[in-house]
Amino acid sequence: MLTIEKLQIWMIALQATYHENKQYLTDLDAAIGDADHGINMDRGYTAVKKNIETTEHKDIGSLLKTTAMTLISSVGGASGPLYGTFFLRASTVCMGKTELTDAEFVAMFKVGLHGIVQRGKANLADKTMVDALTPALEAMTQALENGATLTDILQAGTDAAEQGMQQTIPMLAKKGRASYLGERSIGHQDPGATSAYLMLKTALDSWGE
């Protein structure tokens, strides 16, 4: 069972994760983008953390909605609205809830990812965050159906996201700034797929046992 406190712990841990990986994500973005992804994610989650520390959220829907608005307004670039959309859509299935079952968490993730795909219109193998999030959702759905514990569900999601992230290396970018490079985008790991993997890894580290 995921309580609102656990979700807040995850969000705060994400700030630490993106802060620690700021240079790494920015270096990845320097190769195929404009060298700001680490800066964007660090700025966004610093604002999210501040919001959590100063606002009392009575339900998960409100927490996720505020997180979404904070990311949209503070991150900028392509990734802010996309991760913002993830949490905005996710919030719609969490209104009035103060805890989520494992199935509700996976359902929330699914709704959030659909929001990213609808907004960004990325297909699989376009070399984006979708290439890490989609296999993560599939693995978590499968693990849930197999009756796995939350830790095992998150482990499956994290492993699949990591693989998806690595698989972006040989891909040719079709979305965002990286797509302007055409063939030259090949051979580099996508920064957004990397931040998406870190999102799952941080959930595992925050909630796993």
Ligand X SMILES: Nc1ncnc2c1ncn2[C@@H]1O[C@H](COP(=O)(O)OP(=O)(O)OP(=O)(O)O)[C@@H](O)[C@H]1O
Q: Which residues bind ligand X (CB under 6 A)?
A: 29, 33-34, 36-37, 40, 77-79, 82, 120-122, 128-130, 175-178, 190-193
Residue 94 contact among Mg ion, ligand X, none, beta carbon within 5 to 8 Å by kind = none
**Binding window for Mg ion (CB under 5 A); candidates: 32-40, 81-89, 95-103, 199-207:** 32-40
Q: Shortest gap between Cβ of 34 and ligand X (angstroms)?
A: 5
Half-sphere exposure of 67 (CA within 13 A, CB side): 31
Q: Is 127 exposed, middle or buried (0-12, 13-18, 19+ CB in 10 A)?
A: buried
CB nearer ligand X, residue 61 or residue 115? 115
Residue 192 contact among Mg ion, ligand X, none, beta carbon within 5 to 8 Å by kind = ligand X
Site string for Mg ion, 40-69 (x = CB under 5 A): ------------------------------
DSSP assignment of 184-207 equals GGTTS--HHHHHHHHHHHHHHHHH
CB nearer ligand X, residue 29 or residue 162? 29
CB nearer Mg ion, residue 47 or residue 154? 47
DSSP assignment of 5-69 equals HHHHHHHHHHHHHHHHTHHHHHHHHHHHS-S-HHHHHHHHHHHHHHHHHH---SSHHHHHHHHHH
For residue 168, what is the enclosing H or E element?
none
Q: Shortest gap between Cβ of 100 and ligand X (angstroms)?
A: 25
Residue 178 contact among ligand X, Mg ion, none, beta carbon within 5 to 8 Å by kind = ligand X
Closest CA to 119 of 75, 78, 167: 78
